[in-house]
Amino acid sequence: MQILNLLIMATLLYILFWMQKSFKSFTSRVFTGLGLGIVFGVSLQLAYGQGSNVISSTLLWTNIVGTGYVSLLRMIVIPLIMVSITSAVINAEESKNTSIAKISSIIVTFLLVTCGIAAIIATFTSLAFNLTAEGLVSSANEIARAEALEQRASSIGGTSDLISQLVSIIPTNPFKAMTGSGNNATIGVVIFSALIGMATRKIKSNNKQSFELIQNLVNASQDVVLKLVQMVLALTPFGVLSLMTKVAASSNWTEISRLGNFVVATYVALILMFLVHLLLIMLCGVSPIIFLKKSWTVLVFAFTSRTSAGAIPLNIDCQVKKLGVPNSIASMSASVGATVGQNGCGGVYPAMLAVMIATALGIEILAPIFFVKLIIVIMVASLGGAGIGGGATIAALIVLPIMGLPIELVGLLIAIEPILDQGRTALNVSGAMVAGVVTAKVVGDLDKDVYNAKKVKVV
Amino acid sequence: MAGIISDIFGWYKHLEVDKDKALELIGDDAVILDVRSGKQIKNVEPIFEENFHLEFSEFEKKFNESLEKNLFKKDDLFLVFCKSGSKGLKAVRLLRSIGVENSFNVKYGTNAWFANLDGCGT
């Protein structure tokens, strides 16, 4: 049976390959991958039943494509961030008022504010859905998870540690950050690269020769890295097919329907927040429909792969080529937005958990002292969480103890974690893209011709 | 999508030309027939100024009309293109069936014409 499944998978991959060979558009290929993945995954589950051994052994093989693709993306993230940010800083024109400091402060402010809005929306959605932590039973699996989380939380600590986490965003060892260890890799590399760029600019007047040498070196490496990014991104349809097959085949629908109320409430909050994103795009004076059409492939990738960091290359590519955001802003917003002020993981999720637990404990949610504190803590935690490597669970583990709430519930939701994480990741990435567009608009660098163009110019 | 099977077996190989060969045929004064819909044409930059727009939905009728008006002759060399190459192929098969032997389809249509050839298009 497994051989048959793998033959089907091979056929599906060939269909995508043929579509590429016959020059079908990238978007239609990504969507074919998504659709085929859903159909194949669901039919696997219907044919063999939930959690059967055949499915898991089939997925073992089909995952080669998906995991390989995500690994390739992760491989290019650090070099991409390094060269794009360094070259953006070095090549920035003196006359323009778009210093990297200004750009990054707009981006971070925007992300934190939208994160706060997301938290507010999530709070009201949970209240509307009457979510409560009462009556959730824990099985052995979940109790074990809760214990592990307790330990993790005690190592993260409370308010005083939050401040030291903010400082720890600065990489003490940039090379360690580049290896991706220490969890704060992305943001550390962003800071290091921006500083290298600034230092290079400062030697321009005294040491022109060295400046030009570094400038050419950086620009040349950027050309190579961008080509590498394109090569990897061309594999997106195959990756999406494999990732979606895994999701559709391994989702545990009984568990999901048991906690259905929470899943539905989460998605309502995520969709409402996404509408806020589109509204913000509209306020920039550009069409939200076009934004939706052009960003769709990136969101699909984020949704299927559940990796905000892995979406950075696609995100930058989309912003620069399709949305007319300058490279400096795009690379900054994509890489910062993947860790700081995540709308989904840092905003919606902790707020919903806090409300659920607080309701069960009989705390008045809308009392200003609780509500305002909650929103502020969530915003600060979404910034601080970047220092210890984001993720929704971490965000919740930082927020809940500061609010004086128990954290066991985080463990209870382990069964539906994947399906929640998909939506959250898509919202994170969408937030980062909107941050790019809004920042470009604010500093007056948004290229509307590119934004409105129907066809992507071939380079 | 239907093209995947015929591509594997190469059923219509003799009816289709790639971009290089198409340029060669144009050098030999081929008559270019554009069978795309008006909307499709608007969305993509034009390929050549001198072409006849015979929309696919009424291709045969318009082709015969143009013959009557002496815009081109039946024994001319014809090059047909559309967006993806599938309508163009049908048009060429129709032309061959009414005895126009010197007709070819541009394989994968304008999609191939404007694609960047290193296969990294996103």
Least CB–CB distance from A23: residue in B44, B108, B118: B108
Q: What is the pLDDT of residue B52?
A: 80
* pLDDT at A163 exceeding the cut of 50: yes
CA atoms of B14 and B104, how far apart (whole Å): 8
Least CB–CB distance from A455: residue in B44, B120, B122: B44
The neighbouring-strand residues paired with B81 are B34
Q: What pLDDT band is residue A439 in, cutting at 50, 70 and 90? A: very high
Q: In this predicted complex, what is the ipTM?
A: 0.80
Strands (E), chain B: 16-17, 31-34, 52-53, 78-81, 103-106
Q: What pLDDT band is residue A458 in, cutting at 50, 70 and 90? A: very low
Least CB–CB distance from B115: residue in A15, A23, A236: A23
Lowest average pLDDT, out of A91-100, A321-330, B82-91, goes to A91-100
A133-137, A200-204, A265-269, B48-52: which is most confident? A265-269
Q: What is the pLDDT of residue A160?
A: 57
Contacts of B121 in chain A (CB under 8 A): 26, 234, 458
Q: CB of B116 within 8 Å of any CB in chain A?
A: yes
CA atoms of B122 and B116, how far apart (whole Å): 10
CA distances from A311 to A241, A325, A381, B33, B96 (A): 16, 17, 22, 43, 49
Tell me how close the Cα of B15 comes to any Cα of chain A, in angstroms.
16
Tell me how close the Cα of A458 comes to any Cα of chain B, in angstroms.
6
Query: Any idea what DSSP says for residue A348?
Result: I
Record: contact A233-B115, CB cut-off 8 A: no
Record: contact A20-B4, CB cut-off 8 A: no
pLDDT in tens, A56-105: 888 999 999 999 998 898 888 888 888 988 888 888 766 455 677 888 88
Q: CB of B6 within 8 Å of any CB in chain A?
A: no
pLDDT in tens, A385-438: 655 555 777 788 888 888 888 877 777 777 777 888 889 999 999 999 999 999
Record: contact B122-A26, CB cut-off 8 A: yes
Name the CA radius of gyration of chain B, rounded.
14
Q: CB of B76 within 8 Å of any CB in chain A?
A: no
Closest-approach residue (CA) in chain B for A315: B122
Name the CA radius of gyration of chain A, rounded.
22
Least CB–CB distance from A18: residue in B4, B84, B111: B4
* pLDDT at B42 exceeding the cut of 60: yes
**What mean pLDDT is reported for chain A?**
84
CA atoms of A287 and A281, how far apart (whole Å): 7
Record: contact B115-A25, CB cut-off 8 A: no
* pLDDT at A456 exceeding the cut of 70: no
Task: Using a pLDDT cut of 90, give the percent of chain B over it.
Answer: 0
Residue given tokens 């519930």 in the structure block? A409
